[in-house]
Structure 1
């Protein structure tokens, strides 16, 4: 629509120019006719001219002036039309992103100054584009550095947890199994009790490894929705662990992809803590949307629980979950007591425009 309006304005410029010349010719012919009448008025007998001749001369003059006006109007309007079309073509070139192009400035009149101003504007836009590209490159470099730093930090954390938990449990299993072999013939009852302890420690080590492997899953949901990603995670855990999952998960369409990734990571961390510390057999997970206000998530287990004021509450996993929840503007609440399991409630507000 804008381009067609510009085209009509450029095409009508020549008509406007010729019309102006024609107006001048008409005014000139009328003034010529008035001049002849004044001459006849003051010199009625001195000139061989009358009203008829003055009319004829006026018509002839008008025709000559009209032809001259059409010729010069057409020539001059063509020159002006070409200059305006050059400016319009250059603006269209800028619209296609060719900001390095420049329009030639031949005259220092108003159109010449307009062309210079457009050239200066193109230079400013080109500099801004280069600045944006530089910022994008710097942002990409920072993102890569942040990703590498996060990867290194995660590896170090997993290495610490492997050393602090699984490696120590495996070392204990090695010592206890060697002792059980030596005790088996002489003290069979003690050896049997030792084997029971070995089985318990092996189960704990297995839970630790499952939790650590859970952390190695992709952090993002890729092409899955939050509901689909959580269901896949729980189905996989049900096949590999003795835990029974009771779930009521509704499809949430009111959250951005970044918010969904954070929630998926929070749920993943919560289940990891249950696998490692709770000794639970049943895990309940509810997720649904409360109108257009917030998303509610509830996670609970029937495990051994812990005291809220205990140092365990400040563990890395709970601290990470709380931080992730606060980063997306949510609220994180945890209730637990020894022998009564753990209950986590999460409220994530829905921003205006997300729904």
Structure 2
């Protein structure tokens, strides 16, 4: 989820938790709102890892600052700072501790509903968790948070608008969960009808609608995928001058008209001997980072750079229909007697530091 939406969710939660102060030792309502927003923004301070290296950022993003285990520690730090930051020196840090905990928690939950993956057990485990019910940028969800804050500003004495706003957000996430279950069921039916022996079935959330999904059937060697809208009954067309929402949505077809395609994890048989090189790159110790990072890895490209062979992979999670650029394409290039980790960009192969 984007940082702005995180901040809004924390601010709305802070308003819900705020009570009219009975004395100067209690924080004011506006201080609780700001405290919630600050706490919900805090976990994304891990962006500073990007100044170390790109790989350090990808390995550490949504790591220790997004950990439920370390949440009490971060909340204590923020609660100690808040009286100083919010002109509330007469208010002890204990008065801010609960809202600091809540703000960090709602940030973590906001990332868990996406499919990027969040290391909620860091530093003891780097396993990434994600429910995958919601696309990483969801404008209706952000709009509900803004509406809740606006209503809270109009009815300042009541916490009801904040409660209703938070409830509406939860309901909207629930709609996404329903859409995901429908997409998975559609994929399951297709697998049974086509006799596909699947290892797993999943669905990737897509923009513009909670019913836009990329259904994924994994048979162990390849992915069978289809871009579908689980509630649409007819095809949606879009012209270049149509609005952005319609242009994104037009890629997703009704389940009955789904166009399934097969994506080979290690490339098709036409690669011949190169296929062994592809598998060697995939299993190489230097490529452990991408094996950990990717959820639906497929071969991206086989080429050469500097006189040596190069192989790159990408992740179907980030292959969004209608998007011109494709991020997170990583691989290995032959480098003398070994391998060098690279990123494949529009300009070619780029060596990475911070291995």
Q: TM-score range by the shorter chain?
A: under 0.3
- Structure with bigger strand share is 2
TM-score w.r.t. structure 1 length? 0.20
Higher relative contact order (CA 8 A, sep 6+): 2
TM-score w.r.t. structure 2 length? 0.20
Which has the higher Rg, Structure 1 or Structure 2?
Answer: 1
- Structure with bigger helix share is 1
